[in-house]
């Protein structure tokens, strides 16, 4: 028996190259297929919701309309989860207080809990008085207007997520209602003073959020980070900050997230928040003292003390978001179902349980399938966050909503959270330049322009992209809604 001839060395090299190409091709296919898997699962969820609507409709004459509306509502819920929830979880992930997987699990659980426990008991079918009810009193006009606004808002959110811009869900649905209302009854049907307030919130929300976040970061730097004995200072002030956070979130949830369970005014919510905050401060003191034992006297060590409170704040923000924004996903669907059942629009509509479940599930699925992109962007691509900076962002979100509620100002939770991230970043830039200038004066030399350029801690490209997306959200959603309304009524 003769031995087989050994292949030449060049033949082995050629084989290795071919194998590497095959492996690279397989890796490329896996990379490309990941988005397709998420899209396929999203489409499957929409189909399941449509089938559920068929079963619930029971073969009535309006089955086709309800099924279409359910598909639009499911699509909207997916896009809210993909775009809006990043504002709650992004800072915690960016600060490494949570892994991406942990953030997705916590957000999904608390978004669902917020939606089912405290979410959308009653919603205005005309989205807060944007369009005069008389303008869409006809049942057919009302149904087409609601379907147009729902699909237009979902499409705009989808585009914004693809671009990488966190935008306001509320503003998207408001723009959709406005566009459909104009097509249905003309420009006179729109409540323009209300639209003016919404436009003002484009400026008010991010400025308030950024200012409050910057003030808290300034406080932490002045009283904890920049003092000689950082551990002693942390033992004194971190429990107070935890108490402020706990009290703020208690009041925030009472005002914005628990309306279905209890009816509470702003003053009562603030008193509740004060009591809970004082109690939390007293409880946190021994815990922080125990946690700080053995820590080195440096800034990096202090981040450990803010990790768990940051996770709790992210969970509470998700609960409040689920309680409030589920109505944006399924409110128009509930209004359509009400109109089909009662033969016209109602001033207020109770959201059925099956619609709430669909909205909560859609937000959670959208978050898991498409949310990581914006979570990474909000958490780490605008500016670098650590636990203390992210804590300031989360705290700012709760306090800004309370302040705005007290002043009667319309604000967007998305604009607040992202504005707070920018506020933290711009404050760090200002603080770094201030310290560099002071150091330069002490050394007798000014800060060079190129040195200032290296201290830019906020990515200007994201600032411009997100700002532009905020400004055009309402008009773009309105244009899309108007076009969809024309198409629906033309083929109806």
pLDDT digits (tens, 9 = 90+) for 106-123: 888 888 888 777 665 545
Compute the average pLDDT of residues 277-288: 93
Percent with pLDDT over 90 in the chain? 20
Specify if 305 maps to a domain. yes
Distance CA 190, CA 441 (A): 58
Give yes or no for residue 156 having a pLDDT over 90. Answer: yes
Compute the average pLDDT of residues 243-247: 90
Specify if 77 maps to a domain. yes
Give yes or no for residue 27 having a pLDDT over 60. Answer: no
Q: Which domain holds residue 167?
A: 39-491
In this structure, is the dihedral angle defined by the CA atoms of residues 122, 123, 125 and 128, taken in order, positive or negative? positive
Distance CA 88, CA 377 (A): 12
3-state secondary structure of 123: strand
Q: What is the pLDDT of residue 275?
A: 94
pLDDT digits (tens, 9 = 90+) for 195-224: 887 788 778 889 999 999 999 999 999 999
pLDDT digits (tens, 9 = 90+) for 349-407: 667 778 888 888 888 888 888 888 888 888 888 888 888 889 899 888 888 877 776 76
Q: What is the pLDDT of residue 30?
A: 46
pLDDT digits (tens, 9 = 90+) for 300-347: 888 888 888 888 888 888 887 777 777 666 778 888 877 777 765 555
Using CA atoms in the order 415, 347, 130, 180, what is the torsion angle rounded to 10 degrees?
Answer: 110
pTM: predicted TM-score of the whole model, two decimal places:
0.82
Name the residue with higher pLDDT: 268 or 4: 268
In this structure, is the dihedral angle defined by the CA atoms of residues 337, 77, 54 and 352, taken in order, positive or negative? negative
- Hey, which of 36-45, 451-460, 480-489 has the most confident mean pLDDT? 480-489
Number of domains composing the chain: 1
Least confident of 18-22, 400-404, 488-492: 18-22
**Which tokens sit at 462?**
């994201």
Specify if 34 maps to a domain. no
- For residues 153 and 173, the answer to whether their CB atoms sit within 8 Å is yes
3-state secondary structure of 120: coil
Specify if 307 maps to a domain. yes
Q: What is the pLDDT of residue 302?
A: 82
Specify if 363 maps to a domain. yes
- For residues 328 and 173, the answer to whether their CB atoms sit within 8 Å is yes
pLDDT digits (tens, 9 = 90+) for 407-445: 666 677 788 888 999 999 999 988 888 877 776 655 555
**Which tokens sit at 445?**
């030399």
Specify if 454 maps to a domain. yes
Residues forming beta bridges with residue 348, ordered by sequence position: 124
Specify if 33 maps to a domain. no
Residues forming beta bridges with residue 124, ordered by sequence position: 348
Q: What is the pLDDT of residue 154?
A: 93
Question: Which among 457, 436, 460 has a CA at the least distance from the CA of 448?
Answer: 436
Where b means 16+ CB within 10 Å and e means fewer, 158-177 reads: bbbbeebbbbbbbbbbbbbb
Specify if 26 maps to a domain. no
pLDDT digits (tens, 9 = 90+) for 94-105: 888 888 888 888
Round the average pLDDT of the chain to a whole number and report it: 81
3-state secondary structure of 90: helix
Provide the strand spans (E) within 328-406. Answer: 348-350
Distance CA 319, CA 413 (A): 13
Compute the average pLDDT of residues 46-67: 80
Q: What is the pLDDT of residue 432?
A: 83
């Amino acid at each position: 028996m003769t031995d087989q001839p050994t292949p030449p060395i060049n033949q082995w090299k050629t084989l290795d190259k071919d194998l590497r190409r095959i492996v690279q091709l397989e890796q490329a296919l896996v990379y490309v297929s990941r988005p397709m898997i998420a899209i396929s699962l999203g489409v499957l969820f929409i189909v399941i919701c449509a089938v559920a609507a068929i079963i619930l409709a029971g073969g009535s004459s309006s089955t086709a309309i309800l099924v279409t509306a359910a598909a639009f509502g499911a699509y909207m819920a997916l896009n809210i989860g993909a775009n809006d929830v990043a504002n709650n979880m992004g800072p915690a992930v960016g600060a490494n207080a949570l892994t991406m997987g942990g953030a997705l699990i916590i957000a999904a659980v608390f978004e669902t809990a917020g939606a089912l426990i405290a979410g959308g008991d009653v919603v205005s079918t005309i989205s807060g008085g944007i369009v005069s009810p008389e303008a869409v009193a006809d049942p057919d006009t009302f149904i087409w207007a609601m379907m147009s606004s729902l699909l237009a808002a979902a499409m705009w959110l989808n585009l914004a997520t693809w671009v990488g811009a966190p935008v306001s869900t509320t503003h998207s649905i408001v723009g959709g209602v406005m566009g459909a209302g104009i097509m249905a009854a003309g420009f006179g049907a729109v409540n323009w003073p209300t639209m003016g307030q919404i436009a003002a919130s484009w400026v008010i929300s991010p400025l308030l959020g950024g200012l409050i976040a910057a003030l808290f970061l300034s406080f932490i730097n002045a009283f904890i980070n920049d003092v000689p004995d950082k551990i002693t200072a942390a033992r004194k002030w971190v429990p107070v900050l935890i108490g402020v956070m706990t009290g703020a979130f208690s009041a925030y949830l009472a005002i914005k997230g628990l309306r279905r369970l209890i009816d509470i005014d702003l003053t009562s919510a603030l008193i509740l928040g004060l009591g809970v905050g004082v109690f939390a401060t007293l409880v946190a003191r021994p815990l922080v003292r125990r946690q700080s034992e053995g820590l080195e006297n440096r800034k990096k060590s202090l981040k450990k003390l803010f990790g768990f409170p940051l996770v709790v704040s992210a969970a509470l923000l998700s609960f409040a978001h689920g309680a409030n924004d589920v109505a944006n996903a399924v409110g128009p669907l509930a209004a359509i179902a009400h109109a089909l059942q009662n033969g016209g629009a109602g001033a207020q509509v109770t959201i059925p349980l099956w619609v709430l479940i669909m909205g909560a599930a859609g937000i959670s699925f959208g978050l898991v399938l498409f949310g990581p992109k914006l979570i990474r962007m909000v958490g780490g691509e605008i500016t670098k966050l650590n636990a203390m900076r992210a804590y300031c962002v989360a705290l700012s979100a709760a306090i800004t909503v309370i302040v705005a509620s007290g002043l009667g100002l319309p604000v967007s939770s998305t604009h607040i959270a992202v504005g707070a991230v920018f506020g933290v970043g711009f404050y760090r830039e200002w603080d770094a330049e201030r310290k560099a200038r002071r150091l330069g004066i002490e050394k007798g030399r000014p800060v060079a322009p190129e040195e200032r350029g290296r201290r830019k801690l906020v990515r200007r490209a994201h600032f411009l992209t997100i700002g532009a997306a905020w400004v055009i959200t309402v008009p773009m959603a309105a244009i899309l809604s108007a076009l969809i309304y024309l198409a629906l009524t033309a083929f109806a």
